[in-house]
A and B are shown apart, each in its own frame.
Chain A
C-alpha cells in the first residue's frame, strides 16, 4: 500500500508541475501587449515608451520567461499568489473570500448526485427494461444533454416570475448567515447535482447489471437471502468501485460547469471571478485560478485512485 501511495503521489506531483507550466506558457503567448488590455488602446497610445517600460517592469513582464515563472513559484510558496492588476488585493484574498461558496456548491452537488443517482440506478437495474428503467434511462439521457447553465437560466426565470428572485450581489459566508448562504448555493448545487446524478445513475445501473450475473450473487440467492439483502449487501459493494471513479471524473464536469452555472445564477463565487478575470485579461488572477481548478481536479482524482486501492486489494498488489 505504501509503495502504491508513494507512486501515486509522485505521479500527481509531476502532473501538477506540468499543469503549471502549461498554464504559464498559454497565458504568456497572449498576442499583443498586456498593457493594451490593462489601459485600453487609447490609454496605451498616450503613454511614452519610457512610461510603458516602467509599468511593464513594475508588473514584472519585462523579465525573461524563466524568471517570471520562478517568481510565480515563489508567490505560490509564499501563499500570496500575486496581485490582481485591477483590484490591488492578492489572489489569496480573492480565493478565501469567494472560494467557500464554490466549494459548498461542489460538495452539495456531489451529495445530491449520489442521493439521486444511486437509488435511481439501483431501481432501474433491479428490473431492467421495466417501466421505471425506461423512464430513468430517458431522464438520464436528457439530463446529460441539457447544458447546466441553460437549466439554471430557466430556474432563475421561474423563481423570478413566482418569487421575485434576485441574484445575490454580496458573498454571504456560511458562518455569517447559514440560511442566506443556503439560498445562494442551493440552486447551482441542484442543477450540477442532477446532471452528475444522471451519469451516476447510468453508471451504477450498468455496473450493477454486470455484477448481478456473477456466481456469488446466485449463491447468495440460493442460500435464501432476501432480494433486498442480495442487491444491497452482496452486489452493490462490488458495483460501486467504477461509480466512485466516475464521480472523480465528474468533478471536472462540476468545476467547469460551475463557472457557467454561477454566472447564470449570478452567484459571486470563484467561477465568476475567473470569468471576470478572463474578460479583463487579468493574467495573474487567471493563471492562479486555472492552476487551482486543475490542482483540485488532480488531488481529488488521486484520492479516488487511492480509495479504489483501499477498497479493492487487487489493485494495491499490482
Chain B
C-alpha cells in the first residue's frame, strides 16, 4: 500500500478529497450551519462574511448549507447512476465478450447507436420523457453510461474468454452461466472499478448540467446544478452564488478523475505488476487483460460528451 501511495501521490490526494466530500455528504445534517431550505428575508443577497461563509442567496438561504446538502444530492445521483448504468453495461459487456456470435454483434450495434447521442442531449431527452425528479435524473444519466461500460468491459471479457483457465472450466463441464459468473466475471472487476470511478466524475457533471438547464432535480432540493441556475435568475448574478457551487463541482470531479487515473496506472502491468493483486485481490489473469482494455478507454472515451 505504501508503494502505491509513493508512486501515486496525486491519486492519493484525489482519493482523500473524494472521501472527505463523501463524508460531508453523509453528515450534512450535522455539519451544515443552517437549514438549506429556510428562507430569511432579512438576510438576502448577503456577501460571504462571518455570519454566512458562502453568503446567502436571493431569498436569504445560507449558501454554505446548500452546497453541503447539494453534495448529498449530487453524489447520491452520481453513485446511483453509475451503480445502475456502468454495472448493467459491464454485465452486458461480459455477456457480449464471452458469448460472442450474433448476440454480441447486435449488442454492439445497439451500444453504438446509443453512443451516437452526445451524453448531455441524450440525458436531457430521457429525463424529459420520464418526467423530472430524482429517479428520472438517475435513470437518464445511467442510460448514457451503459454503452461505455459495455464496450470497455466487453474487450476485457473477450481476452479473458480466450484464456486457458476459462477453457478448463468449460472442459470440466461447467455451464455457460457458471463459467461466465465464476471465471470471466471476477477478472473484469478491476477494469470495472477504474471505469466506475471515472464515470462518477462524468455523472456529476451531467447532473450539474441538467440542473443548470432546469431539467434536473427540481428545486427546492439543493443541487450544485440548480444552485447555479438560481444564481443567474436575477438581473445581476452575485459572484458568490456562482463561485462556490461550481467550485464544489470542479473539486469533486477533479478528485474522482485523479483517483480513477491513479487506479488505472497502478493496474498497468508495465508500471507496477505487484500492485494489481493488492488492489483487486483477483488472480493473475486480469493483469494482461485488464490493463490493455482499461488503460486507453476510460479517460479517452469515457469523458467527453458531458458539459
Give the A-B contact count at a CB cut-off of 8 A. Answer: 154
A148 surroundings in chain B (CB, below 8 A): 307
Whether A47 is near chain B, meaning CB under 8 Å from some CB there, is no
A157 surroundings in chain B (CB, below 8 A): 237, 239, 242
Whether A252 pairs with B130 at a CB distance below 8 angstroms is no
Q: Name the distance in Å between B128's Cβ and chain A's nearest Cβ.
A: 5
Whether A260 pairs with B212 at a CB distance below 8 angstroms is yes
Number of interface residues of B (CB under 8 A): 50
Residue on A nearest B229 in the bound complex, by CB = A263
Whether B189 is near chain A, meaning CB under 8 Å from some CB there, is no
Whether B24 is near chain A, meaning CB under 8 Å from some CB there, is no
Q: How far is the CA of A148 from the CA of B225 in the complex (A)?
A: 12
Q: How far is the CA of A264 from the CA of B307 in the complex (A)?
A: 12
Whether B306 is near chain A, meaning CB under 8 Å from some CB there, is yes
Partner of A297, one of B110, B116, B126, B301: B116
Whether B246 pairs with A26 at a CB distance below 8 angstroms is no
Residue on B nearest A257 in the bound complex, by CB = B307
Q: Name the distance in Å between B212's Cβ and chain A's nearest Cβ.
A: 6
Chain A interface SS verdict (over half): helix
Whether B215 pairs with A256 at a CB distance below 8 angstroms is no
Whether A294 is near chain B, meaning CB under 8 Å from some CB there, is yes
Q: Name the distance in Å between B252's Cβ and chain A's nearest Cβ.
A: 9
Annotate A138-172 by CB proximity to B: 1 below 8 A, 0 otherwise: 00011011111110011011001000000000000
Partner of B307, one of A18, A249, A256, A281: A256
Whether B116 pairs with A298 at a CB distance below 8 angstroms is yes
Partner of B213, one of A22, A249, A255, A259: A259
Q: Name the distance in Å between B284's Cβ and chain A's nearest Cβ.
A: 26
Q: How far is the CA of A275 from the CA of B215 in the complex (A)?
A: 8
Annotate A109-148 by CB proximity to B: 1 below 8 A, 0 otherwise: 0000000000000000000000000000000011011111
- Name 5 extra pairs, CB < 8 A, besides A15-B113, A275-B124: A145-B253, A199-B303, A255-B118, A286-B125, A293-B118
A: which residues have CB within 8 A of B?
Answer: 14-16, 18-19, 22-23, 26-27, 29-31, 141-142, 144-150, 153-154, 156-157, 160, 199, 202-203, 246, 249-250, 252-253, 255-257, 259-261, 263-264, 274-275, 278-279, 281, 286, 290, 293-294, 297-298
